[in-house]
Every structure is written in C-alpha cells, then in structure tokens.
A and B are shown apart, each in its own frame.
Chain A
Amino acid sequence: MRRMSVTNLVALALGLAFLYVPIAILVVYSFNASRLVTVWGGWSTRWYAALLEDRAMIDAALASLLIATVSAALATVLGAFAALALTRFRFRGRLPFAAMIYAPLVMPEVITGLSLLLLFVAIDLDRGLFTIIIAHTTLTMCFVAIVVQSRLATFDRSLEEAAMDLGCPPGRTFFAVVLPVIMPAVIAGFLLAFSLSLDDLVIASFTTGPGATTLPIRIYSEIRLGVKPEINAVCTIFIAVVAATVVAASLIEKSRGREARALLA
C-alpha cells in the first residue's frame, strides 16, 4: 500500500470530521447529566432510563421499525424483480419503464407525499401504518432497483448456462446461482430501503393517520416544544441499531464462503 501524503491525510480527517462530529456531539450529549441540552453536567445514563418510561416514544420507535422492516422487504422484492426485468428482457416500452422507475428519485418528497395522500383519500383507504408502509415501499423500491440493476449489468450470463449445463433446472438456477451472486446488492438495497424508511419524515407525515406515529414524527413534534435530552438518547440508540445492521450484513456476506467450505469438508 502506498504511504499517505499529508494532504490526503488532512483531507480524510476533514471529511470524516464533517460526517461524524455532529453525530459524536449528539452521542456525547445523550450521556449528559444536565437537563439543559447545552450545558455539560457530567456523565449519566439517566435519559436512557427515562426513555424506558416514555411509552409514546417506545411505541413510535416500534412503529418505525415495523414500517421500515416491512416496507424494505416489499421494496427489495419488487425492486429486485424490476431490475431483473429491465436487464433481462428486451420488451417493448423498456426505456419508458426504466425512466419511470427512477422518477421517485428526483421527485420532491412533498409531491410524492401529497400525491399518495390524494390517492389514499380517493380510494377511501383508512390512513395508518398500512398506508405509510405502501408509501415507503413506493419511495424506496427504485433505490433497490438501481442498486440491483448495476450488479445485474455485470452479471455473466454464462454462469446460468453453466448451472443448467450441470443439470440445474432454470427455476432452481435463479436461487442457486443468480440470487447468491447478486445477494450483496440485494442486501445493500434492503439496508438502503430500511434506513430511508426509518429516516423519512415528510412522506410519513402526509400518509399517516390517527394512532400511527413514527419516530421521526414523534421527535419532530417534541422538538417543537424544545429539545429534550431524551431525544439525544433515542437518536443514539438509533445510530447503534443502524450501525449494527450494516456490520451484521457485511459479516453475513463474508461468512457465506466459510459455509460453502464447511458443506464439503
């Protein structure tokens, strides 16, 4: 490996600082003993304890996790199949379809949210968890499609032919060869969809209904009444959850080679 020059080192440090200093401050202040957010009063975990008492916050967090998990799963399946169709089949109207799938990427969230709200009102769908899940699936499936499509574009078709040549029927070939090879992209797509859903405030606000409050909505409404130290604690837990998910995904990816080895040992 080449030695890093001073310029590169400084650039790296600045970049990392830009990304992580705000998060670090938030994490540190979540352990602040003081009730005042801007005054340091020594280390304490009292806000985490207080959080356990905050029923509304816990409910919001559970709702967010549920929405993120279900919508990311739906978006992954839909997005992966859309990517498959776009790379594999030269059907009529492929280009318009490809362009249409990217539209939510550039569409302002306010417009997506409003149009979904109008749709749900028009078909008389009661707004709640279910409508947020649909909305988030709509929002995130194009991200999954893009990630999976870029992986499929470099997928070597002769791998499928090799599998069939060795006696694997076409249907099973998808699960035995195609899916494992594109799995990193599928996992990455799922994680992207999951974090986008967790993160979303605008679309959720439009499509939510009574009794369905996500964590960003909860935090936002609390902050309007002033920043409470509990919010810092909630956010720290969220950062830990997301980081753990990413690390777990990369570990899963790495260990698959060992599994294959163990299978034949």
Chain B
Amino acid sequence: MTSGPAPSSDLPAEPLVRFESVSKRFGNVAAVDRLSLDIYSNEFFALLGPSGCGKTTLLRLLAGFERPDEGRIMLGGRDIAATPPHRRPVNMMFQNYALFPHLTVAGNVAFGLRQDGLAKAAIAARVEEMLALVKLEGLGHRRPDQLSGGQRQRVALARSLAKRPQVLLLDEPMAALDRKLREQTQFELMELQARLGLTFVIVTHDQSEAMTVAHRIAVMDRGRVVQAATPAEIYERPQSRWVAEFVGDVNLIEGIVLKTDAGEAVIGDKRGRRYRVAADVAAGAQISIALRPEKIRIHAGPAPPDAPNTMRGKVCDVGYLGSVSTYKVQLDDGVVVKATVANVARTSGEILRTNDNVWLSWPPDAAIVLTA
C-alpha cells in the first residue's frame, strides 16, 4: 500500500474524526473501552477485529445510533457526541443494506436528498449521477426485491453516497457477496474513494479485505485499539503477539535475549536453541520471536553452512493452495513450524512430501521481536 494519500508518516495535523477516550457500556460489558483514535481526511480507514471487539459499536457511535457513556467524538473539530444521527454529515452503508422495500431504486437513492428539501430536478439529476457512479443506469424504476444481491449492494452504496457525506461508514459491506464479486467490489470501492476524495471508514472481520482496501487499519480487541497503522506496518511490525497472531499466519518462539551486538541480538529458547535476529532489545529481556511462514526458507537437503538460523525437521503436513503450498514441519524436539513456499514452477508443489527430512532457515531480519 504505497499509493495511499495518507500514509502514517505524513498525516495532516488535524484529524477529521477524533475519538477521545470514548467508552460505551452495555450493561456490565464495555463494548468500547476508553478508546482514542484519529481518522484523517481522505483516508480509507478500516476497523478490524474479531466479532465482539467493539468495531461495529464504534461505527454506530460515529453514525449517532449510540451515545458514548464517556469521552468525546470530534468531527471536523466539533464534538458531535450529542448530535442525533439525522443531523450528522455522516452516512452509513448497512450490512444488510437496509433498502426501503416500499421505494424503487431511485426512490431509495433520492430519500436522503428529499430530506434536505432539494428541488425535484436537482434530486433527479443527482439520482442519475449516483446510479451511473455505481453502474446501475436504467434500473432506477426497479424495486429492491427485483435486484440481485450485488445490485442491492450497489443501491445501498449509491444511497449512502448521494448526500456527499463527510465520512462514509461501511458496516461489513461485502459480507453477503461471493468471493469473486467481493474482490471486484473491493477494488471498485478503492477507486470510488480515490475519485470522490471522501473519507471511508469500513468495519470488517476479514483481514485480507482490510489490507486490500484500507490506507490505515485499526486492529481492535475487547473495546480497544491495539494498533493503528498501515497494512504493511501491521503485518511486518505488529506491536504485540495478539496483533501478530490475528493478522496473518505466524510462528511464535518464546525466548530470552542472551546478548546484543550492533543491532543484532542472540536469543535463546528454552530448548537451548540459539537464534540471531535483527532487533534492538536489552539483554536479559523476555521476548517472543514472530516469524511469518513465507519468510522461512525450506531446503530439501542440508542448509548451506552460511545460512543463519537453521533448524532440522520432518514434513508432517502439506497444504496445497494453488499459488502457494504450506508445510508444517516438525522439528526434532516436537515443535511444529509453519512455512509457505510460492509454487513458482508447475511442479513446485510435488517436490516435498510428508515425512521428508527438511532443513529450515531464516535471515535475522525476517523475525519480529515482540516484547508485549
């Protein structure tokens, strides 16, 4: 994600949306717990987390359907926590689309514009424009129940964009689409966001969706943001074991820093193995090494003598996924390490089989050292 207009390094000073230690409790459960978060203008921002992490509640707080118990929600420098939903310059696309069944497609798209008391001609022109934007020209007279799932999704999108909201909220917008259509829609959303120059906030539990569409992602857990950064940063530099495990596949090795030397540290695990990792940590610290499976190299024969961090083991499971194969390798002491290899040749997937002896290695800069 290098194309985003708002990478974390050069964010504008003033955020468009700011959550200031916002809490929302339902009974005894804090759905959102003293959460602070900034979202900037023109950002495609994703709220990612497991179900029940509070991401939908956060979106509903921004839409105005929930009132925070504590904290402030700022939009363009103004506290909107007490503003009812119909007075907020924010529109939402609902997970189930929530299309009005008694209105046509055009009636649905025009609904918000009518509330503003626009002239009929202006409304009609805007509806046409919106339908063209989502490629539904000529379907304005249909009823929602005469449309396919993908078309309904587009109507919902057109309706939520018709008023040109300052922030567009998308609540799991692609959950009901099949995979092919979902991927296509993801790219269309990105294209729309860039073209319209609006701020999009999407809620999703699908990490690949968040990584595909968003400039920045807030990973949430139990009502809090555990990390907010670009997709690459979250994947390559997770700040905690929880983030490393939630986003993507990872091998975790517990260990202690034995010694450090010029940005490189030697880590010892409890089985007496030694690892060299590129990290700035204090000697004696308890840490975890997080290793992404695709950064581990598999050798069918003994690893070259200069290869760092070599381990010997036996293939115990092969998962062929087409573009890549995932190997589970059991080390001599029983620990299982996962490694993925791109199937660059058509025969790549047939080289290694279960019970083959293999050697693994990984460069010192492949590892992520986590202290949390």
A residues with CB within 8 A of B: 156, 158-159, 161-170, 176-177, 180-181, 183, 256-257, 260-261, 263-265
User: B102's contact among A158, A165, A180, A263, by CB below 8 Å, is which?
Assistant: A180
User: A261's contact among B84, B112, B141, by CB below 8 Å, is which?
Assistant: B141
- Beyond A165-B63, A166-B111, whether A257 also contacts B104 by CB under 8 A is yes
Interface string of B228-270 (1 = CB under 8 A from A): 0000000000000000000000000000000000000000000
- Beyond A167-B163, A264-B107, A264-B110, whether A159 also contacts B115 by CB under 8 A is no
**Is B163 touching A162 in the complex (CB atoms < 8 A)?**
no
Between A and B, 5 residue pairs with Cβ closer than 8 Å are: A161-B65, A162-B94, A177-B100, A257-B143, A263-B107
Nearest-neighbour CB distance to chain A for B346, whole angstroms, equals: 49
Interface string of B142-185 (1 = CB under 8 A from A): 01000000000000000110010000000000000000000000
B112 (CB) vs chain A CBs: closest residue: A166
CA distance A169 to B87 in the complex (A): 8
A263 (CB) vs chain B CBs: closest residue: B107
CA distance A170 to B103 in the complex (A): 19
Q: Which residues of B contact A170 (CB under 8 A)?
A: 84, 86
Majority DSSP secondary structure for residues of A touching B: helix
**Is A156 touching B106 in the complex (CB atoms < 8 A)?**
no
Nearest-neighbour CB distance to chain B for A110, whole angstroms, equals: 42
- Asked if B354 is an interface residue, CB under 8 A from chain A, the answer is no
CA distance A177 to B100 in the complex (A): 7
**Is A264 touching B104 in the complex (CB atoms < 8 A)?**
yes
Q: Which residues of A contact B102 (CB under 8 A)?
A: 177, 180-181, 183, 256-257, 260
Query: A165-B85, A166-B86, A177-B102 are known contacts; what are 13 more A-B pairs with Cβ within 8 Å?
Result: A156-B98, A158-B98, A161-B63, A161-B92, A161-B94, A161-B98, A162-B94, A165-B91, A167-B86, A181-B101, A261-B104, A264-B110, A264-B123
**Is A168 touching B86 in the complex (CB atoms < 8 A)?**
yes
User: B86's contact among A158, A159, A169, A180, by CB below 8 Å, is which?
Assistant: A169
- Beyond A156-B96, A257-B143, whether A166 also contacts B159 by CB under 8 A is yes
**Is A260 touching B91 in the complex (CB atoms < 8 A)?**
no
Interface string of B125-143 (1 = CB under 8 A from A): 0010000000000001101
User: A159's contact among B91, B100, B127, by CB below 8 Å, is which?
Assistant: B100
Cβ < 8 Å to A, chain B residues 5-46: none
Nearest-neighbour CB distance to chain A for B371, whole angstroms, equals: 42
CA distance A261 to B104 in the complex (A): 7
CA distance A183 to B115 in the complex (A): 21
**Is B107 touching A159 in the complex (CB atoms < 8 A)?**
no
CA distance A263 to B107 in the complex (A): 8
Q: Which residues of B contact A166 (CB under 8 A)?
A: 86, 91, 111-112, 115, 159-160, 163
User: B106's contact among A158, A176, A256, A264, by CB below 8 Å, is which?
Assistant: A264
- Asked if B331 is an interface residue, CB under 8 A from chain A, the answer is no
Cβ < 8 Å to A, chain B residues 56-96: 63-65, 84-87, 90-92, 94, 96
In the A-B complex, the 9 residue pairs with the smallest Cβ-Cβ separation, listed nearest first, are A166-B112, A167-B115, A162-B98, A158-B98, A180-B102, A264-B106, A164-B85, A260-B107, A164-B86
CA distance A161 to B97 in the complex (A): 11
User: A167's contact among B103, B104, B106, B112, by CB below 8 Å, is which?
Assistant: B112
- Asked if B306 is an interface residue, CB under 8 A from chain A, the answer is no
**Is A264 touching B140 in the complex (CB atoms < 8 A)?**
yes
A160 (CB) vs chain B CBs: closest residue: B98
- Asked if B124 is an interface residue, CB under 8 A from chain A, the answer is yes
Q: Which residues of A contact B350 (CB under 8 A)?
A: none
- Asked if B333 is an interface residue, CB under 8 A from chain A, the answer is no
- Asked if B332 is an interface residue, CB under 8 A from chain A, the answer is no
- Beyond A181-B101, A257-B104, A257-B143, whether A163 also contacts B111 by CB under 8 A is yes
CA distance A264 to B106 in the complex (A): 7
Q: Which residues of B contact A162 (CB under 8 A)?
A: 92, 94, 98-100, 159
CA distance A140 to B337 in the complex (A): 72
User: B103's contact among A156, A158, A168, A260, by CB below 8 Å, is which?
Assistant: A260
- Beyond A167-B116, A181-B101, whether A158 also contacts B94 by CB under 8 A is yes
Residue from A165, A261, A263, A265 with most neighbouring chain B CB atoms (10 Å): A165
